[in-house]
Amino acid sequence: MTTRTRSSRRQEDVLGRGPIARAWSKVFAAGYDSLNSGAEEGGVAELRAALLKRASGHVLEIGAGTGTNLPHYPAGLRSLTLTEPDLAMRRRLESRLDTAGAQHRVLPERAESLPLATDSVDTVVCTYVLCGVDLPAAFDEIRRVLRPGGQLLFLEHVRSPEPGLAKWQDRLNPLWSAVACGCNCNRMTEEAITAAGFTITDIERGGVQDEVALVRPIIWGRAV
């Protein structure tokens, strides 16, 4: 059975954007899965599967998008809570859940304001989402809801260590961010995870085929 929140904000886009950005976000959501299909087949799906095998207990996924991670979660989780503030993305996520046949909860709230109790989550999952949130505020909330000893699983694209590519990521970020609905292609996410007080227990860096150059490299791993 699928469980859904009855929040009055369920039908809202809670990102506080203007009408043009909201209209563009519908186009973005409609094209999201096909835009990413090359990179998913080129290796991202495999990375998701390996990462999410490690999820356990009460799991919270931040910014679940269209639900690309859903097929990769292991059986036996105590609960799976998915947040998604973009209305168009959330509608796609919910339609996928209709056929998923498991217990899930979808919340519209942003990462910076999670309606969950302190110390209530065992695993927080962030994939391709930390590029678009207010990092200090989101990490404050993630750390608040994670129980002591809980884990953060991440798979994110980051600013390149190669000066040539990093320069273009910095230059093109304003344009990229407008087209890609608030995504920043030059985030130093690994450093931000550490600065937020997490200890990274393992991390890998690399790239996959058919990924847009501006969102290379990617990092994936676990922090506590």
Binding site residues, ligand SAM, CB under 6 A: 15, 62-65, 68-69, 83-86, 89, 110-112, 127-129, 132-133, 182-183
Q: CA-CA distance, 187 to 189, in Å (whole number)?
A: 5
Inter-CA distances, 140 with 64, 119, 127, 190, 198, Å: 19, 12, 18, 16, 11
Q: 97, 99, 86: which is closest to 29 by C-alpha? A: 86
CB of 43 to ligand SAM, least distance (A): 14
The distance of closest approach from Cβ of residue 67 to ligand SAM in the complex, given in angstroms and rounded to an integer, is 8
Query: Which residue's CB is nearer to ligand SAM, number 58 or number 110?
Result: 110
CB of 163 to ligand SAM, least distance (A): 26
Minimum distance from CB of 207 to ligand SAM (Å)?
16
112 vs 140, beta carbon nearer ligand SAM:
112
Tell me the residue number closest to ligand SAM, measured at CB. Answer: 65
Would you call 215 exposed, middle or buried from its count of C-beta atoms within 10 A (0-12, 13-18, 19+)? Answer: buried
**Smallest distance, ligand SAM to C-beta of residue 101, A:** 21
Name the residue nearer to ligand SAM (CB basis): 128 or 198. 128
In one-letter notation, the amino acid at residue 116 is L
- For ligand SAM, which is the closer residue by CB, 7 or 199? 7
Residue 27 burial by CB count (10 A; 0-12/13-18/19+): exposed, middle or buried? Answer: exposed
Strand pairing category for 146-157 and 121-127: parallel
- 28 vs 198 by CB, closer to ligand SAM: 28
